[in-house]
Amino acid sequence: MGGSARARWVAVGLGIVGLLCAVLGVVMILVMPSLIKQQVLKNVRIDPSSLSFGMWKEIPVPFYLSVYFFEVVNPNEVLKGEKPIVRERGPYVYREFRHKANITFNDNDTVSFVEHRSLHFQPDRSHGSESDYIVLPNILVLGGAVMMEDKSAGLKLMMTLGLATMGQRAFMNRTVGEILWGYEDPFVNFINKYFPDMFPIKGKFGLFVEMNNSDSGLFTVFTGVQNFSKIHLVDRWNGLSKINYWHSEQCNMINGTSGQMWAPFMTPQYSLEFFSPEACRSMKLTYHDSGVFEGIPIYRFTAPKTLFANGSVYPPNEGFCPCLESGIQNVSTCRFGAPLFLSHPHFYNADPVLSEAVLGLNPDPKEHSLFLDIHPVTGIPMNCSVKLQLSLYIKSVKGIGQTGKIEPVVLPLLWFEQGPKDTMSPPNLIAWSDQPSSPYTPLLEDSLSGQSASAIA
Ligand SMILES: *[C@@H]1O[C@H](CO)[C@@H](O)[C@H](O)[C@H]1NC(C)=O
Ligand SMILES: *[C@@H]1O[C@H](CO)[C@@H](O)[C@H](O)[C@H]1NC(C)=O
Ligand SMILES: *[C@@H]1O[C@H](CO)[C@@H](O)[C@H](O)[C@H]1NC(C)=O
Ligand SMILES: *[C@@H]1O[C@H](CO)[C@@H](O)[C@H](O)[C@H]1NC(C)=O
Ligand SMILES: *[C@@H]1O[C@H](CO)[C@@H](O)[C@H](O)[C@H]1NC(C)=O
Ligand SMILES: *[C@@H]1O[C@H](CO)[C@@H](O)[C@H](O)[C@H]1NC(C)=O
Ligand SMILES: *[C@@H]1O[C@H](CO)[C@@H](O)[C@H](O)[C@H]1NC(C)=O
Ligand SMILES: *[C@@H]1O[C@H](CO)[C@@H](O)[C@H](O)[C@H]1NC(C)=O
Ligand SMILES: *[C@@H]1O[C@H](CO)[C@@H](O)[C@H](O)[C@H]1NC(C)=O
């Protein structure tokens, strides 16, 4: 198995986070000398002389990851076949730092880079501490059981006995820090001792364990310097021009940008496509409406209902199946076979059967939908809030005693939100307008004219 398998499972490290909402921000727009087409083109390309380059390299706006857990209130009853009841805990908030490194300009109009990130807990913004205890499904036991379903009775018996010996049960009571950043799992140690090649995890197991001080792979994207037509589009990721997690050509395509910037001069017909290594797929957001952010006109893009639809509801998604109800995506092939599902929080925009199967869920567009606000003239993100949920498919597996009489259910584990907070801190504004030669005022008026996007395009 070795390296690649480990990397994939560890990606259960739910690297899902990082769904690319970067905000380059208002400051960028304000320093643009003028919003005439040539100037915009010159300054949104990926080029060290471009005004956007510094902000492309390092996201200039404070950025946060907020995590909410679904604590299981009635674990013993769930084991007896009753409906799970969950209670939302959190948020546990982390400041996220990201910067691009190993930036290499290739001679074919592309640039290669990795994006590094690190996370730092913010007690003041959190509701609770990293030492809070939370009762969650024991992912290794319940996920492992579903993965073992088709194995021989002997192997399952061994698993049952092994788990029993180590006091491992269907639900676990662990701290936020352990769940996210890892704990020593006796079961993992046991497997690794007796079946050294069977399991991809060595050492600690945690949902976000390899997300801190990591990167999201080697991107090669078009700079738009020589030929503008492919600006920001991803050429390759980790050297691949398509991925192979899914069953159809269409689903394996790497579409769109790396998620930080898009081609300028957008119209409402434009859709926002990007490739997310964490979700192992390309995604597409669609125009919702237009508005104003800090005095700057923006287009708001949101997730279409088809984003996580199943293959029978939306045939182009067939390649992501086998599916269950519509509105959740089976990400098992890119999480080392673990029965994990990606969706909107609380199964928002999914088949209501899903949220009705668990007590305590309350899908609500205000709380649980995601958006990206883009300045249409430049294609630069101004504000965003990306919200996603991770769930575990659990059920009773014959031959594995620990799974009791659990009824099959897609049980939410956690959801998270990524986005800036205090986006436009006053010091930014003052810094720019303080400069005597700042083009700040005329520029703002320019972009305020709201017409600018369509006028220029
Ligand atoms: C980035 O550069 C460093 C130092 O040159 C190197 O060790 C590392 O492997 C590079 N990372 C990637 C992903 O290319
Ligand atoms: C451009 O060059 C890079 C580095 O040599 C290579 O990985 C990439 O495939 C090339 N892309 C195109 C479109 O030629
Ligand atoms: C992430 O790594 C940094 C640097 O090693 C460390 O200071 C920080 O506490 C880590 N964050 C978490 C959440 O463990
Ligand atoms: C979880 O463990 C902590 C510490 O041992 C304990 O205080 C708490 O009551 C436990 N929670 C539940 C629901 O058992
Ligand atoms: C730019 O690229 C597009 C598509 O790849 C191509 O059709 C067009 O001819 C190119 N333009 C120039 C000036 O090379
Ligand atoms: C990628 O783009 C192609 C063509 O526009 C489309 O058919 C396909 O469904 C897209 N794939 C994904 C995963 O978005
Ligand atoms: C797809 O979703 C619909 C609506 O939730 C559901 O009725 C159908 O059974 C699902 N298809 C599959 C293959 O599960
Ligand atoms: C999820 O997809 C995997 C791999 O394609 C498949 O084996 C598994 O049965 C699917 N899970 C569910 C619950 O449908
Ligand atoms: C950015 O979006 C968030 C919603 O996630 C909102 O609370 C915030 O007010 C927005 N920022 C500004 C400056 O409008």
How does pLDDT run across 127-162, given as a tens digit for each residue? Answer: 999 999 999 999 989 998 998 899 899 989 988 998
Give yes or no for residue 383 CB within 6 A of ligand 9: yes
Give yes or no for residue 218 CB within 6 A of ligand 1: yes
Give yes or no for residue 324 CB within 6 A of ligand 8: yes
Q: Greater confidence, 278 or 27? A: 278
Q: Averaged over 248-274, what is the pLDDT? A: 93
Those residues with Cβ within 8 angstroms of residue 388's Cβ, 6 or more apart along the chain or in another chain: 16, 19, 279, 342, 343, 344, 345, 370, 415, 416
In DSSP terms, 10 is beta-bridged to none
Name which residue sits closest to atom 12 of ligand 2, judged by CA: 108
Q: Position 340: which residue type?
A: L
Q: Where are the domains of the chain?
A: 50-455
Q: How confident is the model at residue 125 (pLDDT cuts 50, 70, 90)?
A: very high
Look at residue 30 in the predicted model and tell me its pLDDT: 57
C-alpha closest to that of 41 among 444, 450, 442, 378 = 378
Which range scores top for mean pLDDT: 231-245, 378-392, 409-423, 424-438? 231-245
Percent of the chain whose predicted confidence (pLDDT) is above 70: 83
Q: How confident is the model at residue 23 (pLDDT cuts 50, 70, 90)?
A: low
- pLDDT, tens only, 318-334: 999 999 999 999 998 88
- Candidate of 102, 103, 220 to mutate for ligand 1, largest count of ligand atoms within 8 Å of Cβ: 102
Give yes or no for residue 333 CB within 6 A of ligand 8: yes
Look at residue 3 in the predicted model and tell me its pLDDT: 34
Q: How far apart are CA 34 and CA 46, in angstroms?
A: 18
Contact 67, 416 (CB under 8 A): yes
Sign of the torsion angle spanned by Cα atoms 193, 199, 203, 207: negative
Q: Averaged over 312-322, what is the pLDDT? A: 96
Contact 190, 86 (CB under 8 A): no
Look at residue 448 in the predicted model and tell me its pLDDT: 34
Q: Greater confidence, 2 or 147? A: 147
- 243 CA distance to ligand 2 centroid (A)? 17
pLDDT(17) > 90:
no
- Candidate of 69, 76, 133, 135 to mutate for ligand 4, largest count of ligand atoms within 8 Å of Cβ: 133
Contact 376, 271 (CB under 8 A): no
Give yes or no for residue 324 CB within 6 A of ligand 7: yes
Ligand nearest to the CA of 221: 2
Those residues with Cβ within 8 angstroms of residue 427's Cβ, 6 or more apart along the chain or in another chain: none
Query: 76: buried, middle or exposed (CB in 10 Å: 19+, 13-18, 0-12)?
Result: exposed
Q: Residue 239, Cβ neighbours under 10 Å: how many?
A: 9
* Residue 414: strand, helix, or coil: strand
- Atom in ligand 3 nearest the alpha carbon of residue 94: 13
Q: Averaged over 426-451, what is the pLDDT? A: 34
In degrees and rounded to multiples of 5, residue 221 shows phi and psi of -125, 160
- pLDDT, tens only, 281-291: 999 999 999 99
- Candidate of 280, 329, 332 to mutate for ligand 8, largest count of ligand atoms within 8 Å of Cβ: 332
CA dihedral 435, 436, 440, 446 (to 10 degrees): -160
306 secondary structure, DSSP code: T
- 286 CA distance to ligand 9 centroid (A)? 19
Q: How far apart are CA 355 and CA 344, in angstroms?
A: 11
Give yes or no for residue 10 CB within 6 A of ligand 7: no
Contact 320, 307 (CB under 8 A): no
Q: How far apart are CA 346 and CA 389, in angstroms?
A: 7
Helix runs in 87-185, H state only: 144-148, 153-165, 176-181
Q: What burial letters (b/e) apply to 145-183, b meaning 16+ CB within 10 Å?
A: bbebeeeeeeebeebbeebeeeebbbbbebebbbbbbbb
List pocket residues of ligand 5, CB cut-off 6 Å.
227, 229-230
Helix runs in 311-439, H state only: 352-356, 365-368, 426-434
Look at residue 25 in the predicted model and tell me its pLDDT: 54
Give yes or no for residue 122 CB within 6 A of ligand 3: no
Q: Which residue has the tokens 């790396």?
A: 258
Q: Residue 20, Cβ neighbours under 10 Å: how many?
A: 24
